[in-house]
């Protein structure tokens, strides 16, 4: 961490009814001038983050904030300053956003971010914006028919991110199932990650029928970033600060941190609890999902404690 004083910045992710996201271009004479950014500004000494966000949004974009929810907090060091970006999704507002201070602005879809240049500190925000707040991990099933029925049922709960986990299958069976799952996920605009080893992933050319790879903690420790197509989503299971550092070192897209609560599947594992979970997410510059005894009722708490959202088997797969 830099010795510079940390500048606390409130940042907003504004979406319209078409799912487009509002971005503005920094004036050339400002810090990081000429780059695109999410609107927001410095939190003053006498303000809460939400008060600063409301003020900045009205000053910069002309909208009035009604309701917002936390997305991600990012600590970033530039050569000349250190910033803490406190990023919030704007859930409800009035007015029509525009460049009220004369700055260029536009509305873009989630797959258009690569067309715009952003400050380095904004890149984790883009990852968080592109990920949903629910991550379904597949659970038990009897056969292929049962698997596809349960997968379909899960996807109908508006799940947009799935990890196919099935350690009881041999490799050939696993990837045969994966191809079927991919067909279903593609039809419903859902991202599918495979939970397997890098070696098997490459051997079966799985990049042709998935959207990413999820690594166990053991596989994470063996990982080399040169082994996987950079266009794929990469995630990993982590349990502590050492493993969190590894996913940052390899520039993963997100991580799954567990166990937050006690679980039936791992009764001997000591749960982190929400306070320790928060301490770890505060060190992260990538999205982190909370796993371990999660239900949809935990989603609000998870976000308040720095999570992208919740990952679960029982809450999504088995209900």
Q: Does 56 share its domain with 175?
A: no
Q: Does 261 share its domain with 160?
A: yes
Q: Which residues contact 178 (CB under 8 A, 6 or more apart)?
A: 164, 192, 194, 206, 209, 210
Three-state secondary structure call for residue 150: helix
Look up the domain containing 140 and give its range.
Answer: 134-312
What is the tens place of the pLDDT at every residue in 48-86? 999 999 999 999 999 999 999 999 999 888 777 888 999
Q: Are 5 and 11 in contact (CB under 8 A)?
A: no
Last residue of a domain, one of 126, 147, 165: 126
Percent of the chain with pLDDT over 70: 96
pLDDT of 38 higher than 60: yes
Percent of the chain with pLDDT over 90: 84
Write down the H helix ranges in 188-264: 198-203, 217-222, 241-249
Is the residue at 317 inside a domain? no
Is the residue at 141 inside a domain? yes
Is the residue at 193 inside a domain? yes
- Angstrom CA distances, 263 to 138, 258, 269, 276, 298, stand at 16, 10, 8, 17, 14
Q: What is the pLDDT of residue 227?
A: 78
Q: Does 173 share its domain with 218?
A: yes
Is the residue at 299 inside a domain? yes
199, HSE (Cβ side, Cα atoms, 13 Å)? 3
pLDDT, average across residues 264-280: 84
> How many CB atoms are located within 10 Å of the residue 175 CB?
21
CATH number at residue 302: 3.20.20.70
Three-state secondary structure call for residue 312: strand
- Rounded Cα distance between 24 and 92, Å, is 19
Q: How confident is the model at residue 2 (pLDDT cuts 50, 70, 90)?
A: very low
Tell me what the pLDDT averaged over the chain comes to: 93
Q: Does 116 share its domain with 154?
A: no
Q: Does 89 share its domain with 112?
A: yes
Q: What is the pLDDT of residue 226?
A: 67
Residue 201 or 229, more confident: 201
Q: Does 149 share its domain with 119?
A: no
The count of structural domains within the chain is 2
Last residue of a domain, one of 81, 97, 126: 126
- Rounded Cα distance between 284 and 248, Å, is 8
pLDDT of 3 higher than 60: no
Q: What is the total residue count of the chain?
A: 319
Q: Does 173 share its domain with 66?
A: no
Q: Does 112 share its domain with 138?
A: no
Last residue of a domain, one of 126, 144, 160: 126
Q: How confident is the model at residue 317 (pLDDT cuts 50, 70, 90)?
A: very high
- Angstrom CA distances, 14 to 22, 159, 198, stand at 6, 22, 37
Question: Which pair of structure tokens corresponds to residue 14?
Answer: 């504004």
The dihedral built from the CA positions of residue 14, 18, 19 and 24, taken in this order, carries a sign that is negative
Is the residue at 318 inside a domain? no
Is the residue at 255 inside a domain? yes
Q: Does 147 share its domain with 265?
A: yes
Q: Does 144 share its domain with 117?
A: no
Is the residue at 166 inside a domain? yes
* DSSP-based helix, strand, coil % in the chain, nearest 5: 35, 25, 40
Q: Are 117 and 36 in contact (CB under 8 A)?
A: yes
Q: Does 20 share its domain with 145?
A: no
CATH number at residue 58: 3.90.79.10
Is the residue at 319 inside a domain? no
CA 99 to chain centre: 28
Q: Does 140 share its domain with 260?
A: yes
Query: Which stretch, 25-34, 118-127, 299-308, has highest mean pLDDT?
Result: 299-308
The dihedral built from the CA positions of residue 179, 180, 181 and 183, taken in this order, carries a sign that is positive
């Amino acid at each position: 961490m830099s010795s510079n004083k940390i500048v606390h910045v409130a940042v907003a992710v504004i979406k319209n009814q078409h799912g487009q996201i509002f971005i503005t271009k920094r004036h050339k004479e400002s810090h990081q001038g000429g780059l695109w950014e999410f609107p927001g500004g410095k939190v003053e000494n006498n303000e809460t983050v939400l008060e600063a966000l409301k003020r900045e949004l009205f000053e910069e974009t002309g909208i009035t904030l009604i309701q917002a929810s936390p997305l991600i907090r990012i600590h970033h060091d530039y050569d000349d300053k250190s910033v803490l970006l406190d990023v919030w999704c704007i859930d409800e507002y009035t007015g029509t956003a525009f460049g009220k201070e004369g700055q260029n602005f536009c509305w873009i879809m989630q797959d258009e971010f690569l067309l715009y240049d952003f400050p380095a500190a904004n890149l984790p925000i883009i990852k968080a914006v592109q990920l949903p707040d629910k991550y379904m991990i597949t659970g038990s099933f009897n056969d292929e028919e049962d698997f596809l029925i349960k997968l379909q049922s899960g996807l109908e709960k508006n799940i947009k991110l799935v990890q196919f986990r099935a350690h009881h299958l041999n490799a050939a069976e696993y990837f045969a199932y994966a191809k079927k799952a991919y067909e279903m996920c593609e039809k419903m605009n859902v991202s599918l990650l495979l939970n397997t080893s890098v070696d098997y992933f490459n051997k079966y050319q799985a990049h042709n029928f998935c959207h990413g790879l999820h690594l166990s903690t053991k596989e994470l420790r063996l990982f080399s970033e040169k082994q996987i197509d950079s266009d794929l989503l990469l995630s990993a299971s982590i349990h502590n600060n050492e493993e969190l550092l590894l996913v940052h070192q390899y520039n993963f897209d997100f991580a799954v941190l567990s166990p937050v609560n006690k679980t039936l599947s791992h009764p001997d594992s000591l749960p982190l609890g929400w306070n320790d979970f928060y301490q770890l997410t505060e060190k992260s510059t990538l999205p982190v999902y909370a796993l371990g005894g999660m239900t949809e009722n935990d989603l609000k708490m998870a976000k308040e404690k720095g999570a992208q959202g919740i990952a679960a088997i029982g809450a999504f797969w088995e209900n």
